[in-house]
Every structure is written in structure tokens, then in C-alpha cells.
Amino acid sequence: MAEWWVPSRRVERWWQTIVLAWLLVFFGPSTIDKVITEPTAWNWTWFAIWLFATVGFAYGTVQAWRTRNNPQPACWEGTTAPSEIPADDVRSTLASTDDRISAIKALRELHPGLGLKDAMDLIDAQRGEQGPHH
């Protein structure tokens, strides 16, 4: 389960959508009207800030909705270096399964940021140390 300070992708997607709508509905008309009726430096600065924020949130919202069905990227959870995996975890994972593929899956479930190739290398190295019977 995610910690409270790490929002889910659904929360992030809806938060960006709501902020974008808020920027467009509440700040957009008044900001544009001020620039047209009273083109002062402050109004143009405020317009530039509003425009930058609106474009940024629009891009983020489109990306969040476009990738809503894709699996979560590894960079979201963080990656785990193979050197950070304790050898005991690799040994116990290999001992608890019957074959190589199950061991790789189990190791990646135990360490979600571990890449497929890294998990495979760790399992193969451990199998080589244990001998041909495993």
C-alpha cells in the first residue's frame, strides 16, 4: 500500500484535471479581461504566469489520462540496484520455488524496483553457486 504522501496515479490524474479546470474557469476569463482592458506590466506578468501554469497542467493532464491504462513505470516506485538485494533474499527465494522463472518473479515481487534482467542475473548467479541440482 502506498504511503500517504505518495498519491496514487488516479489521485494525481484527477488532481491535475481539477486544477486545470479551475485555472481555465476561475482565473482564465478575468486574467484575459484584465490584459485586454488594462494592459499594465503587472497584468501581463500575471497573464504569463497563468498561461505557463495552464499549459503545464494541460500537458500533465493529457499525459496522465493518456497513460492511465499503462503499467506504472519503474521510476515511479524507484529502482533497486542489484547490489542492494541481500544474498539471503535471493537464496530464500530460490529455495522456495521449483524453477528459475518462478524464482525471478518471486524476487521481483519481494523487491518491486528490481529490473527483470537484474533479477535474472541474481537468480542465475545463485543457482551457479548452489550447483546443478537446483
Q: What is the pLDDT along the chain (134 residues), one digit of tens a residue?
A: 444 454 677 788 888 899 999 999 999 999 999 999 999 999 999 999 999 999 999 998 898 888 777 655 545 556 777 778 888 888 888 888 888 899 999 998 888 888 889 889 999 988 887 655 54
Distance in angstroms (rounded) separating the CA atoms of residues 86 and 7: 29
Query: Cell 535471493 appears where?
Result: 90
Residue 104, all three cell numbers: 525471478
> pTM to 2 decimals?
0.48
Which residues, 6 or more positions from 24, have their beta carbon under 8 angstroms from its beta carbon? 54
